[in-house]
Copies of this chain bind each other. A is one copy, B any other.
C-alpha cells in the first residue's frame, strides 16, 4: 500500500471511535470521492489546532482572548453556569433558553488523577464570585461520583462569596453524561434547578 495512504489511515485513528477498519474506509472514501472535502478538512484541522485556545473569562474554546458569549452585552452576568466540558456547555445552550454566562471547568475534581481546584481554575472562579456581580452559580456538573463531589466543592465556594448555588433538577439520569441527555430532559432539568442547601 502507498506509504502516504498508510500514514493517512494511521493518522485518522486519532479520532475517537475510529478503528483500523473504519480509518481505512474513511481514507478510501476521501480519495475516491471527496478530495476537495479532504483538503477542506485538512485546512480546518490545522486552523483549529493552531488558533483555538481558551477564553480567559470562561475557559471555553475560543479563537479570541474572550469568547463571543463572555463578550456579549446581551447575556445576564448575574447568572453563571458551571459545566465540566465545552460539549456540556453547548448541550445546555442548545437545549435551554439560558441567557446567563458559563464557566467551563475542562474537567472535574479528581484527586487521584492530580486534578484539584487549581487545575480547574477554581481560584480564578472564586475571585470572580468575590467581585459581586454573580448572584446565582448554576452547577451543572455531570451526575457522576466525581461530578457530585465537584458540585459540593463549588457550592461551598459560592456560599463563601455569598453567591447562591443551585443544581440542575433531578431528571438527569444518575451515572449519565450530560452531553448525551436528550434536549427535552435537559431543558426540563435546567428549568427546575433547585437551590443547593448544603
Q: Give the chain B neighbours of A68 by CB distance below 8 A.
A: 2
Assess the B67–A2 pair: CB atoms within 8 A: yes
- Other A-B pairs beyond A8-B48, A31-B52, A41-B42, 11, CB < 8 Å: A7-B48, A8-B47, A14-B41, A16-B29, A24-B87, A27-B48, A30-B45, A32-B86, A38-B45, A42-B43, A42-B45
Interface status of A106 (Cβ within 8 A of chain B): yes
| A88-111 to B contact mask, C-beta < 8 Å, 1/0 | 001000000000000000100000
Complex CA distance for A166 and B1, rounded to whole angstroms: 25
| SS class, residues of chain A in contact with chain B | helix
| CB-contact partner of A7 in B7, B10, B47, B49, under 8 A | B47
Q: How far is the CB of A135 from chain B (nearest CB, A)?
A: 26
Assess the A29–B15 pair: CB atoms within 8 A: yes
For A14, give the chain B residue with the smallest CB separation: B37
Assess the A44–B7 pair: CB atoms within 8 A: yes
Assess the A26–B30 pair: CB atoms within 8 A: no
Assess the B62–A2 pair: CB atoms within 8 A: yes
Complex CA distance for A11 and B22, rounded to whole angstroms: 17
Q: How far is the CB of A163 from chain B (nearest CB, A)?
A: 27
Interface status of A76 (Cβ within 8 A of chain B): no
Interface status of A63 (Cβ within 8 A of chain B): yes
Quick one: given A16-B26, A30-B48, are A2 and B41 in contact (CB under 8 Å)?
A: no
Q: Which residues of chain A from 33 to 68 have any CB-CB distance to chain B below 8 Å in the complex?
A: 34-35, 37-52, 61-63, 67-68
| CB-contact partner of A14 in B38, B48, B63, under 8 A | B38
Assess the B48–A45 pair: CB atoms within 8 A: no
Quick one: given A28-B86, A45-B39, A87-B28, are A14 and B34 in contact (CB under 8 Å)?
A: yes
Interface status of A118 (Cβ within 8 A of chain B): no
Complex CA distance for A16 and B127, rounded to whole angstroms: 46
